[in-house]
């Protein structure tokens, strides 16, 4: 089931259209342009960027030993990167609570007389 969210500025979304309309005077509602988007839950995988993590490890090693260092962290194969992502995701599921969402498929709508 698709869950929607609403915004007046296409940046700050709320889960209830009524909450959005509370920000607008009654006589200004008809003809009001607003945005409706689909909520997409933020997942642990969305938050894990293994290439970035490995690059940070490489940067640290480089800063410690200099030009002799050869990007050993970033040079691991894709299977090793997937393994690390899986390990971090398992850790996150155990220790981190996520209750957020992102917005996709935003469309511009107008409130008409029959909508209120």
pLDDT at 96 over 90: yes
Between CA 18 and CA 36 the distance in angstroms is 13
pLDDT in tens, 34-87: 999 999 999 999 999 999 999 999 999 999 999 999 999 999 999 999 999 999
Sequence ranges of the domains in the chain: 1-42+99-116, 45-98
Q: For the chain, what percent of residues have pLDDT higher than 90?
A: 78
Q: What is the pLDDT of residue 9?
A: 93
Supply 101's token pair.
Answer: 């969402």
The values of phi and psi at residue 34, to 5°, are: -140, 175
User: pTM (2 decimals)?
Assistant: 0.71
20 touches 6 (CB < 8 A): yes
A 10 A CB-CB count for 106 gives 14
Q: How far apart are the first and last CA of the chain?
A: 24
Element (H, E) at 77: none
């Amino acid at each position: 089931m698709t869950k929607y969210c609403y915004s007046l500025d296409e940046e700050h979304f709320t889960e209830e259209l009524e909450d959005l309309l509370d920000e607008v005077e009654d006589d200004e509602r008809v003809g009001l342009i607003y945005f409706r988007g689909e909520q997409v839950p933020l997942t642990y995988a969305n938050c894990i960027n293994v290439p970035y993590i490995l690059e940070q490890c490489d940067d640290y090693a480089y800063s410690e030993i200099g030009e002799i260092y050869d990007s050993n962290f970033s040079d691991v194969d894709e299977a090793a990167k997937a393994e690390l992502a899986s390990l971090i995701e398992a850790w996150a599921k155990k220790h981190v609570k996520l209750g957020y969402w992102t917005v996709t498929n935003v469309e511009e709508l107008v409130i008409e007389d029959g909508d209120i």
